[in-house]
Amino acid sequence: MSVIFTSTIKMKDKDTWFIELKDMVDNRVELCYDMKEYSEKVEDLGSDYGGNIDSVNWYKDDNVPPHVMDLIRQEMASQKSEIEEKLGESLIKE
């Protein structure tokens, strides 16, 4: 069984974005309003599978503006840096 999550960036209103996180195995859905919350919910859902997630597929709704995508990328980079600092190593293995 492959464990696949989908993450869809959506707009609640013209100024508020969120990520709809969906576990494709059992169709559970979580709504995340920042990257910290997203990270925690991925970890929570993934714990049901021993932390072994095969894939996270990313999507965005058509109405998500470019500046929101930039903001999310910045938050993701910041979250990655914090995790790497705690681990003392890069998350990307060469």
The pTM is what? Answer: 0.86
How high does pLDDT run on average in the chain? 92
In this prediction, residue 88 carries a pLDDT of 84
- For the stretch 54-68, pLDDT in tens is 999 999 999 999 999
Write phi, then psi, for 2 (nearest 5 degrees). -90, 135
Q: Where are the chain's structural domains?
A: 4-87
What is the CA angle 36-39-41, rounded to 5? Answer: 110
